[in-house]
Amino acid sequence: MSSVERLEALLGGADGGSRSSTPAEEASSEAVQVIVRVRPLLSHEAGGERLAEEAVEIEDERTVKVVSQDKHKNVRCRYDAVAGPEATQEAIYSRVRSCTLSVLDGYNATIFAYGQTGSGKTHTMFGPPGYHREIGYGQLSVSPMAGIIPRAIHDLFSGAQRDDVEDFQVFVSFVQIYNEALYDMLRDGTRSAPLQIREESSGGGAGGGGGGGGGG
């Protein structure tokens, strides 16, 4: 039994039921998947003098309809999944959890959020502002408001510990692209000096001076 299979048995499946394949097999065999999360209207949007109108309507679990400003043209888009305003942080993470678990078996995985300013990327990836203050080090559970990143970290460390892995290392980097410049947010949270991007001998790109943290 692989480490992912053992972790799934210990932690329980995200949907609480049996699985026909392991998370590693799912993550390694699937193409890039796109999941749309539609956030609710914010308080100033729903209760201001100029009420905002919802431009996105969810038709089913895979389809959204975008309504034009003049109401004369609608565009329907289909994705791998669509989550509405009522979707919990746990439900969102359950859609991508197989990527996290597959890392324990040596696979590479990428999860990223894309959208305009104010669309909810930080909420989805991290959680609401200040929620982390309620979490203590060594806590066995995550906050219901925790986003994808803290939940993924929790799964990685829980998996390594429950798998009786004697030696493991986790490295973290935190960079931000702002106005087409790359910043190391662990060393320079005020974005005072952008990193220099250069090409490595292997042909890949690298940001000079990027910091990181490790644990094991």
Q: Would the annotation count 73 as a binding residue?
A: no
Alpha carbon distance 90, 94 (integer Å):
6
Q: Would the annotation count 122 as a binding residue?
A: yes
Nearest to 34 by CA among 94, 82, 90, 92: 82
Q: Would the annotation count 22 as a binding residue?
A: no
- CA 148 remoteness from chain centre: 4
Q: Would the annotation count 120 as a binding residue?
A: yes
SS3 at position 207? strand
Alpha carbon distance 54, 195 (integer Å):
39
Alpha carbon distance 89, 184 (integer Å):
27
Residues whose CB falls within 8 Å of the CB of residue 57, separated by 6 or more in sequence, listed in order: 64, 65, 66, 67
Q: Would the annotation count 213 as a binding residue?
A: no
Q: Would the annotation count 118 as a binding residue?
A: yes
Q: CA dihedral defined by 49, 50, 56, 61, rounded to 10 degrees?
A: 10
Residues annotated in the binding site, as ranges? Answer: 115-122
Residues annotated in the binding site for ATP, as ranges? Answer: 115-122
